[in-house]
Amino acid sequence: MEHFDIQPSQLIELASFDATFAVAPGEEEDVKRRYTTLLADDAGTKRLGTSSTVYRVSNTECETFALKVLKADDLEGEERGRMLPLRIQAFIEEHRTQAAVSRLAGFPKLYGLGMIDDVPAILMEWIEGFTLKEAVAQLPADVYGRVGATAVAGIGIGVLEVLARAGALDEHFVHRDLSPKNILLRCDCVPLERQAAENIYDVCLIDLGSATVEPADTSLTMVSNIWRNGTPDYAPPEMLATDMPDIARLRTSRSIDVYALCSVLYELYAQATPFGHGMTLAVSPYRMKTEHDPMPLVPRCDADEPLVEAIMAGIRRQQDERIGNEELLSRLKSWAKGHEAPPRQASPCECPRASNAGTAPQPRRYSRRAFVTGIVAGAVMGAGAVALGTAAVTTKGFGLFAPRSLDDYSWDELADLSARISAAESDEEALGIAREAALVDGDGLIDGSRLKRVTYNGIPAHVRLVGIAHDDLADGTGKAGLTFMFDEVVATKPMNDSTLATGAWKDSDMRAWLGGSFIDHLDADLAAVIKPVIKYTNNVGGSEDPASVTTTEDSVWLLSYCELVGARERLSFSDGFRFLADILNTEGKQYAYFREQGVMPQSNHPALIRNQEDEPDYWWLRTPSPDVSLSEGAVNFNRVGPNGDPFHFATAATDEAGVVPGFCI
């Protein structure tokens, strides 16, 4: 295999292509046409790596991609025969790792793995922006030209928030090679200048050649004889040796990324790495970092001491001595909250022309909230900035400044979005608003990997978006814009404290608890924006009459069988039980998220599995079982099973099961 060197404007044909997404039957040719015939851009734009090169390419529809091609021209003779298969193995492993985080904000979207002749290539999203190494000169600086302390904290917060999203994955992700070259500040949505002004950085982590998503991956630094180490100036000692005790466990710890990130922040603040650039010329980096402490990081002023202490807490020899990801993020946010972002350095065209001009005037700073509500209009200095501000008003800010993740929005911002969607004159317009705000992808599908953090009764939890313009508002003014559902079991309770002879959901203790005590223990900013909606339920219990389905007004509620799985065919029930379809199908309609996930009425599905303390558990539906309730002489409610089966686990109201609520804003 020879290294494939792509030239400007060169036509590239992938001989094979394995997509990382599901391809529907009949769409194979469309996928092949979209992803296998590519053209390198005219300028020959590329990013060079140690063992690969990333080229900017486009397809016949003018969509832009990044094509990462393995290179092997540095291998010769016997070494080539021994090392090349291992390097290919490592490259394919990188593709697998990237697939695990591809749908998360903060990582390039992955499309697939292909071959150019016999050279493997990864096709992914091309991200416009600057590596942190390239961006340093454009970050806010103090009078001595050093990166401002607030910007240092802002960069750290941006990276840690990306790592936090990856930390929510079932698979254990560690990047293991964070460095200024592998931290990208993307600028395709928000210009770097504005990110710096607001101290909110759109961070993307790239080059996952050393990353792992395995719970116990021993190939961190080496696959056979291929070194996959972190960059010596930033990597912790466990990344720089193979004979340390308990090395397999050490190399799966998230503290690896804490050490590397704090080393990067140290360099931004001090203009030198913790052990000095070029230390490898004098001594083994491993020995240096295990036998010596980093050079002290001296605060520039008293106010910077908490920031400096947080950074130094991550650069410790032993993993158990380092600060954790969450604590580091909390300390950086706490420090940054009390410090205004410094004035950005004005470009020459923005400087006042008067002869007595000193420093450029500090621009007005606008919060994301201001852009969300559309109150900024042409107030930013400079003709280009005025045009940008006007465009932000036109799209309510989301087309240009949309957060990259659901979790980036505040509940007030989501409530504003929901109101806009609710006021839309058509489903198409509503979906367009959601697309502008990155709540759905380009095809209008809800991204199943995006969650928003909440707390209930002080306990962390997550919610996911399941519906857009779905539920009827109780006040009769139209549809609630956004519907959410908890992603974990938040409590275990009976549906009712005593046996229900009749009445079902409408009269249950569960409904009263969700509408009262439960809301009282939610985050106050979330509780303030929840809106009551109309819910349809069989409120009789044991019945063969569809008229048993009546309405309630609920702020927080449990989902129905039909809202999860959609309408069920009458003929799917045996003769004598087809009344069940008439009743169950009247309790609402399937939410978009579950429809897009392929949830069906008569089978279990992983999208319906909910955990209680990391173990799959039963969880209640508000739907009573009409036939079981008739036979038992008391109301029995349906539950979803631990395997994601939503139908076969009806039980008495007095039994206990998990609570997984939904709500609208």
Q: What is the pLDDT of residues 69-83, one digit of tens each?
A: 998 766 677 767 676
DSSP 470: -
Write out the DSSP string of 58-111: E-TT--EEEEEEE--TT--HHHHHHHHHHHHHHHHHHHHHHHHHTTSTTSPPEE
478 or 24, greater pLDDT: 478
Question: 3-class DSSP state for residue 137?
Answer: helix
* Residues with Cβ within 8 Å of residue 432, at least 6 apart in sequence: 424
Give Cα 100 to chain centroid, integer Å: 11
Specify whether the CB–CB gap between 231 and 223 falls below 8 A: no
- The pLDDT of residue 278 is 55
Give Cα 382 to chain centroid, integer Å: 34
- The pLDDT of residue 488 is 94
Question: 3-class DSSP state for residue 344?
Answer: coil
**Residue 163 and residue 100: Cα distance in Å, rounded?**
13
Q: Which amino acid appears at position 386 of this protein? A: V
Per-residue pLDDT of 6-63, as tens digits, reads: 899 999 999 889 898 888 888 888 888 899 999 999 888 888 876 789 999 999 888 9
- The pLDDT of residue 3 is 52
Please check whether the domain covering 11-125 is classified as CATH 3.30.200.20: yes
| CB count in 10 Å sphere of residue 67 | 24
pLDDT of 229 over the 70 cut: no
Specify whether the CB–CB gap between 436 and 452 falls below 8 A: no
DSSP 336: H
Per-residue pLDDT of 561-620, as tens digits, reads: 999 999 998 888 888 999 999 999 999 999 999 999 999 887 789 999 999 877 899 999
Q: For domain 129-337, which architecture applies? A: Orthogonal Bundle (1.10)
Of 441-455, 494-508, 647-661, the range with the lowest mean pLDDT is 441-455
- The pLDDT of residue 224 is 35
| CB count in 10 Å sphere of residue 272 | 13
Q: What is the mean pLDDT of the chain?
A: 84
Q: Is-above-0.85 flag for pTM?
A: no
Percent of the chain, pLDDT > 90? 59
pLDDT of 414 over the 60 cut: yes
Per-residue pLDDT of 348-360, as tens digits, reads: 333 332 333 333 2
- The pLDDT of residue 390 is 30
The ranges of the chain annotated as CATH 3.30.200.20 are 11-125
- The pLDDT of residue 388 is 33
Phi, psi values for residue 528, rounded to 5°: -70, -20
Both tokens of 3, joined, read: 């290294």
Pinpoint the alpha helices (H) of 313-373.
325-337, 368-373
Residue whose pair of structure tokens reads 């039963």 in the numeric block: 618
CA distances for 362 relative to 89, 141, 481, angstroms = 52, 14, 38
- The pLDDT of residue 150 is 96
DSSP 141: B
- The pLDDT of residue 374 is 32
